[in-house]
Structure 1
Amino acid sequence: MTYEENRYWKNVLTIVPICGAAVATVSYLLRLYSRRFTSAGLKLEDWLMGMGLLISYCATAFVVDSAFNGVGLSLSTLPKDERQRIQFASWMIQKFWAPSAAFVKISIVVFLKRILGTVRAYSIVSNVLIAFIICWAVTALLGNTFQCWPVQYYYDKSLDGHCMSGQRQFFQAMGSIALVEDVIILFLPTPIIWGLQITFRQKVAVTLVFSLGGLVCIFSLMRLIEFREFITTDLASSSAKESVWTCLELDVAIICGCLPLMKPLIQGFLGKVKSGVSKGRSHPSSGTKLYAFPSSATHNNDGFQQIDDLLGSQASKGAQIMANESRRSSDLELQGIAVHTRIQQEVDHHTASSTDPLSNHAWPR
């Protein structure tokens, strides 16, 4: 094997996973900074996402390792030591993919439950979904670990052992279930969002934020498609594309899961930009309050409201509007009374002046 023969896949499996992991890491760090930016503190979903990110590093490391051991080439053309290392890397990637994906998915579900969990139906469905994701991850991990016996036979064919029949079908089944989970997580909040008493523009904006998870479904589907050409007896030549999609699926899931939590940071930045523009065009104080964090009494500190908070704010807003209108009406009535009293006083004063005896007295000429 020469460097020229493996240069393409070596570059792809080195650059793409490392760049994806870097962007995912930056997204998670910005998420943590947004928590500090709003004094919200770390929550359960932040810890779960962090665990998913750390485990994804392990999968990325083995993908990069396979890039330097002849991935993309036929297994028969590789030396025995490289052949064993690339098969071991493929075996280890499977061990980290399911746990990392499970932590990321559960993190997103926990976050959505905190926002939408006041709806009883969503709370029940989210709990069932979390339990299902855990069962799926455990099944995938055990299946990937014990698909061959002894387990070392997967990457060391010199041993006396065997692998289960239908390995590729098992990979496809686990990938299909993962895709179904992604689709459920993507569409589950939609009926609740569109049932809220908010404006159409707000509904579209919130839907677009949560629809970012559609990117995860795309990468999960691409990974699933690659298993159609997956050859378990020649992992060196057939696992290259699957490894790329595996890393991108995890990285994009982390990025999409962190983006909604950056809302306070993004709004704060836009508020400062608008404030600076406003200061340059008008009075110095005209743009000082374009952005303010919501009160912790009715909002979460990260800038998101729960369903009952949203409905409660609508009711309080309506009550405030009615109170303002009533106060304006009372002010008008009081003003009318004041005007009427003043006119009455002036008329009374004029009448009193006209009936004064001195005013009717004829002075001699």
Structure 2
Amino acid sequence: MIDIMYSSGDLLPRQAAAASANIPSDSRAPHILAIVGSLTGLSGLLVALRCYVRLFLLRKFLPDDGVIVASLLCAFGVLACFIGESHHGVGLFSDDIKPEDFQILSEYMFYHAIVIVLGISLVKVSLALFLLRFASPNKNLKRFITGALVFLIIFTVACILTLIFQCLPVRAAWDFSLRENARCYSMKTYLSIGEFNSAINIATDFVFATLPAFMFYKVQVNKRTRVSLMGILSLGYFACAAGIVKTVLQSQIFDEPDPYRDCQYLIWNCIELNVGIIAASFPTIKPLVKSVIGTTLSFTSGVRSGKRNGQGYHTTSIVFRSGPLTGLIGGVKRT
């Protein structure tokens, strides 16, 4: 979860010294911003729909909804960092970044890393709170999810503290004039910490992507509905895959001569965050997308009853049962 592409004590001064005053016109910043902006916009749409369903259809806004909104705010914060970074070197070759821009870029990335670590963790906290509502009948499962949630919170705090105090004084992380007397992690140490934390992050991604399929495998619904439900709830594997790609790129970041040109590592980091938000929100908006993924899910917690009308056609009424799965698979309690 340590998501930094700089911060080594000897890398930044070398790159800053090599920077020149000539900025080319072929910056890839617009391309990068288009990707990040599209992902963030899609996440925002899904969370907005989720809030609409919770507030106006189910009339029940729960803690996991509030946490996912906080995660979305982190995603917007990451987008804001990308925008700021695009004005100070992102999209350019390292040799084309001015020294004064490089220092501002480094400060943006300092906050960028903290915000995205927090956002990714909040997605999993939201999912853990969501799953706890369905784990009540199984005490062992409830203990496992609670333990995973506590571990995740402690781990996140440790990661953020590692990011904040990568240099002492803290400002030396981006203010190169303080580097001479500062104490900072070496490149090797920082990369090792980052890879270890990324491995833990992938493991927690996998756990929280697998738990829904495990928990809802025996739900008493027809086979088609069960497959659809488990498929939707397992979208977290895409976030897990993004985390794996990000980790591979992370191990190569200090070998890249121009890490700011394409920003593949940062882009995949952003993909991991936004796909996680989308995966966590998609199951909750079933009432609004049932026409796309099929109407079967709308009836899984209800009972059909039908009778012929005067013209010989069937008129169908549906009685919805309230319960934990009501909001998950699209049923809206009728009064």
TM-score tier by shorter-chain length is 0.7 to 0.9
Q: 1:72–1:238: 8 Å Cα contact kept in structure 2?
A: yes
Question: 1:302 corresponds to which residue?
Answer: 327
Structure 1 length-normalised TM = 0.72
Contact 1:24 1:255 survives alignment (8 Å): yes
The 3 A distance-change label for structure 1 pair 194 and 120 is: same
2:120 aligned to which of 95, 101, 109: 101
For 2:267, the equivalent position in structure 1 comes to: 244
Return the alpha-carbon distance in structure 2 between the equivalents of residues 34 and 301 of structure 1: 12
Q: Structure 1 258/284 Cα, relative in aligned 2: closer, same or farther at 3 Å? A: farther
Work out the number of aligned pairs and report it.
292
Distance change (3 Å), C-alpha of 1:284 and 1:35: farther
1:119 and 1:102 map into 2 onto residues whose CA distance is 25
Say yes or no: does 1:163 pair with 2:188.
Answer: no
Q: 2:23–2:96: 8 Å Cα contact kept in structure 1?
A: no
- One-letter amino acid of the counterpart of residue 275, structure 2: V
Are the aligned partners of 1:63 and 1:243 in contact in 2 as well (CA < 8 Å)? no
Pick from 103, 111, 121: which aligns with 1:92?
Answer: 111
2:134 counterpart (115, 131, 139): 115
Deviation at residue 26 of structure 1 after TM alignment: 0.4
Q: Secondary structure in 1 aligned to 2:231?
A: helix
| Structure 2: 5+ residue stretches without partners | 1-21, 296-308, 331-335
Question: Paired residue for 1:183?
Answer: 206
Q: CA deviation at 1:29?
A: 0.7
Q: Answer yes or no: is the 8 Å Cα contact 1:90–1:235 preserved in 2.
A: no
- Per the alignment, in what secondary structure is the counterpart of residue 4 of structure 1? coil
CA contact (8 A) 1:69 1:82 kept: yes
Q: Residues 133-156 of structure 1, C-alpha deviation per residue, up to 9 Å, x if partnerless? A: 101110110001101111111111
Alignment check: 8 A CA contact 2:283 2:328 kept:
no
Cα separation, partners in 2 of 1:196 and 1:231, compared to 1, 3 Å:
same
Partner of 2:53: 34
- Let me know the Cα RMSD of the aligned residues: 2.9
Measured in 2, the distance between the counterparts of 1:207 and 1:241 equals 31
Deviation string 1:80-133 (CA, Å, 9 cap, x unpaired) is: 210101111111111101211111111111112212332212111110110011
Question: 2:229 is matched with which residue?
Answer: 206
Which residue in 2 is equivalent to 1:81?
A: 100
Q: How far apart in 2 are the matches of 1:184 and 1:42?
A: 25
Query: Normalization by structure 2: what TM-score?
Result: 0.78
Moved more, 83-92 or 162-171: 162-171
Letter in 2 for 1:265: L
CA distance in 1, matches of 2:104, 2:262: 13
CA distance in 2, matches of 1:300, 1:286: 31
Q: Return the index of the structure with the highest Cα Rg.
A: 1
Q: Which residue of 2 aligns with 1:192?
A: 215
Structure 2 counterparts to residues 1-365 of structure 1, below 5 A: 1-5=22-26, 7-8=27-28, 10-159=29-178, 160-165=181-186, 166-231=189-254, 237=260, 240-267=263-290, 289=316, 292=318, 294-296=320-322, 298=323, 301-304=326-329
Q: For residue 4 of structure 1, report the CA deviation from its aligned partner.
A: 2.5
Cα–Cα, structure 1 residues 135 and 34, in superposed 2: closer, same or farther, change >3 Å? same
The change in CA–CA distance for 1:212 and 1:286 in structure 2 (over 3 A counts) is: farther
Query: Are 2:133 and 2:324, in contact at CA under 8 Å, matched by a contact in 1?
Result: no
The whole-number CA distance in structure 2 between the counterparts of 1:15 and 1:28 is 20
CA contact (8 A) 1:45 1:107 kept: yes
Contact 1:101/1:250 (CA < 8 Å) preserved in 2? yes
Distance 2:255 2:172 in 1: 12
Once the two structures are aligned, what percentage of the paired residues are identical? 20
Alpha-carbon separation, structure 1, partners of 2:184 and 2:241? 31
SS of the residue corresponding to residue 327 of structure 2 reads coil
Task: Give unpaired runs (5+ residues) of structure 1.
Answer: 272-281, 306-365
